[in-house]
Amino acid sequence: MNEINLSFDFYHLWEVCGGQLILIVAGLLLMIIDMLLLDKDAETRGKYIGWLTVFIFVATLGHMVYRQWDIHDIVFMGVFSADKFSVFISIVMVFSGFLAALMSMGYLRNNALMKGEYYILLIYAVAGAIGLVQSVDLLMMFITLEVMSLAVYALAAFIKESPFSQEGALKYFLLGSFGSAFFLFGVALIYGLTGSVNITSIALAISGGLYQSLPLLVGFAMILVGFFFKMAMVPFHMWTPDVYEGAPSVVTGFMATAVKAAAFGVCIKVLYVSFGPILANSGQPDFASTVSLSALAPYWKPVVWWLALLSMFFGNLIAVSQTNIKRMLAYSSIAHAGYMSLGILAANGDGRMGVLFYLFAYTLMNIGAFGVVYIIDGKERTAQNLEDYRGLGYKYPALGFLMGLFLVAMAGLPPTAGFVAKFYVFYAAIKEGYFLLAALGILTSVIGAYYYLRVIYMMYMKEEIKEVVRGPVAAPTVIALVITALGVLYLGILPEKLANIANVAQQGLSVIF
Amino acid sequence: MAGINEYIILACILFGLGVIGFLTRRNALILFMSVELMLNSINLMLVTFSASRADMGGQVMVLFIFAVAAAEVAVGLAILICLFKHMKSVDINKFDLLKW
């Protein structure tokens, strides 16, 4: 896997990176189609482009499930890999894009934002995210990270008339590029030390004894900082609440799931490949005896331990005092990043499986919740306060039920996907002996249950004080909400199937690296 | 002639200046410039490593970073202009609509 294959087989590239290729080419085509439709009014144009986008995401999903899933290979001069692990996370992200595209049609109409470029940016954000989890090369990670981030910055700033949206996007942009500069500094250091940016070659260089060198540790720390920024882990979470509150609701749902999934996927991959069993499988048996996973674990495990604890505590505690529902969900997403990082910390097969399951479940419940938020909101920022949810359970029974379901799932109560997901990551952490952290994590999820259930309490136990009229509900949004709600319930009651698939997916890492 | 260490130290100093600038200055445009300074210090570092290792990889990376940095500034300035139209200011202390 170390020698670079310079031959360029296009069919092979299509098999391994087909998902990305479909999205990139489709994005270009959609730009042209958007131009060709200029004589139509904005409403019709948005509808066409929106449905085309949904179709493209479905095609990408089909390609990934039926073709890429069975392929284990590294192509494009050793830059992109198709292994079941990255393909699983790619599927989660494309699914997230698919749900976001469905909901966006109604959202954009409610806010008079019908513009074709919205969907094109969405497609490129997903393409960048797929590239990020598929890349095995630090430089390509940087480029795809930026492709994803630039598209998401633009999406976050999509409501031009709203200073909130612009302000959140600017903060996201400034802190995001600050974070990627750190990432790149780490890449440069590691390149200087090992002469390579390929994570498998780096692993070999590390196992040759470099792991004790301070610049290498600094380099890896900086790379991880870049990932933690995107995952929104405390203390790198400063941008999260502002951006999530300011950005269009559907974009927030997408950001909180796809971007997080990409960052988690690539972080696990880097930690696994560069610090993991490759050292034992590298064909040079003396490395296996001298350096094992435990050689570098003492350096990064305490850091992840503290970040997980801080994220769980700060995320949940600060969410309690929020009055804006989007901001509350932003802090809850920080807390969820903390729970997921328990799986990274465990660094075993169960942990990785737990993270994969969690990402899928979180995608369903989070995008669903933001879908309800946007419908109740009508036009952005008209009814986002918790007070506005008083009595809504009786006024709009279906929306109230869905919101209740998603919030119960986020709180981690059975019989929903959120409970099973939390169970898997806590189980993995306990199996590795992190009893204290698991206990504290369960304590924080009790705090979490308070503010999630408070919204449900508002919806069903309180009288309406302010007249809140929900926005019109578009048919695609209904489809997306039904998919997410059924998914949350299905994964809560019968999780084995997805858990088995996730388990196969996490084993994919050891097949290819 | 300066050795590799001098170049690396210079790059680290520039990177540090970028970080300090980003953390202390309050003008959004200066923050952009600080990030650019950080990226360019990384470029200097990559070129140095590339030369010392006689490996072209580092120099190719510099070209990629140039392109990405240009794209980043394009998006960032566009957002800043939109925000400036609302706020009539580029002072990030004034951008406080969203807090707590």
Q: Can you give the pLDDT of all 100 residues of chain B as single tens digits? A: 578 889 999 999 999 999 999 999 999 999 999 999 999 999 999 999 999 988 888 999 999 999 999 999 999 999 999 999 998 888 888 888 877 5
List of chain B residues whose C-beta atoms are within 8 Å of the C-beta of residue A168: 98
Residue type, A133: V
B93 within a domain of the structure (yes/no):
no
> What confidence category does residue A67 fall into, taking pLDDT thresholds of 50, 70 and 90?
confident
- Residue A282 is predicted with a pLDDT of 44
How far does A79 lie from chain B, in Å, by closest CA?
13
pLDDT beyond 80 at A280: no
Q: Does A14 touch chain B (CB under 8 A)?
A: no
pLDDT beyond 50 at A304: yes
Can you read off the two tokens belonging to residue A248? 């269009």
Check CB contact under 8 Å for B98 and A241. yes
Question: Residue A80: which H helix or E strand, with range?
Answer: strand A80-82
Average pLDDT, chain A: 88
- Residue A284 is predicted with a pLDDT of 44
Check CB contact under 8 Å for B49 and A157. no
Q: Does B37 touch chain A (CB under 8 A)?
A: no
A347 vs A364: which has the higher pLDDT: A364
The domain segmentation of chain A, as residue ranges, is: 10-512
- Residue A276 is predicted with a pLDDT of 54
Can you read off the two tokens belonging to residue B75? 């998006």
pLDDT beyond 50 at A277: no
pLDDT beyond 90 at A107: yes
A448 vs B100: which has the higher pLDDT: A448
How far does B34 lie from chain A, in Å, by closest CA?
9
List of chain A residues whose C-beta atoms are within 8 Å of the C-beta of residue B48: 192
Instruction: Say which range, A172-186, A203-217, A392-406, A460-474, has the weakest mean pLDDT.
Output: A203-217
Check CB contact under 8 Å for A185 and B42. yes
Separation CA B70–CA A477 (nearest Å): 37
B95 within a domain of the structure (yes/no):
no
- Residue A133 is predicted with a pLDDT of 93
pLDDT beyond 80 at A366: yes
List of chain A residues whose C-beta atoms are within 8 Å of the C-beta of residue B57: 191, 195-197
A482-513 burial, b at 16+ Cβ within 10 Å, e below that, comes to: ebbbebbbebbeebeebbebbbebbebbeebb
How far does A66 lie from chain B, in Å, by closest CA?
33
- Residue A70 is predicted with a pLDDT of 84
Region A120-134: what's the mean pLDDT?
A: 95
Q: Does B79 touch chain A (CB under 8 A)?
A: yes
Q: Does A324 touch chain B (CB under 8 A)?
A: no
Can you read off the two tokens belonging to residue A501? 């698939």
Torsional sign, CA A190, A196, A202, A205? negative
- Residue A279 is predicted with a pLDDT of 46
Residue type, A455: V
Domain with B73 in it: what CATH number?
1.10.287.3510
Region A58-69: what's the mean pLDDT?
A: 92
Q: Does B65 touch chain A (CB under 8 A)?
A: yes
- Residue A289 is predicted with a pLDDT of 36
A336 vs A512: which has the higher pLDDT: A336
- Residue A55 is predicted with a pLDDT of 96
Check CB contact under 8 Å for B42 and A188. yes
pLDDT, tens digit, for every residue of A305-343? Answer: 999 999 999 999 999 999 999 999 999 999 999 999 999
Domain of B66 in residue numbering reads as 4-88
List of chain B residues whose C-beta atoms are within 8 Å of the C-beta of residue A178: 22, 35, 38
pLDDT beyond 80 at A23: yes
Q: Does B21 touch chain A (CB under 8 A)?
A: no
Check CB contact under 8 Å for B98 and A197. no
**In chain A, positions 194-213, which contact chain B (CB-CB < 8 Å)?**
195-197
B10 within a domain of the structure (yes/no):
yes
Check CB contact under 8 Å for B35 and A160. no
How far does B39 lie from chain A, in Å, by closest CA?
6
- How many domains is chain B partitioned into structurally? 1
Q: Does A178 touch chain B (CB under 8 A)?
A: yes
Q: Within a 13 Å sphere around the CA of A506, how many CA atoms are in the beta-carbon half?
A: 21
Check CB contact under 8 Å for B31 and A321. no
Can you read off the two tokens belonging to residue A49? 């482009």
pLDDT beyond 80 at A275: no
ipTM: 0.95
Mean pLDDT comparison of A82-86, A92-96, A296-300, highest-scoring range: A92-96
pLDDT beyond 70 at A465: yes
Q: In chain A, pLDDT over 90 holds for what percent of residues?
A: 64
pLDDT beyond 80 at A115: yes
Q: Do residues A123 and A90 make contact, with C-beta atoms less than 8 angstroms apart?
A: no
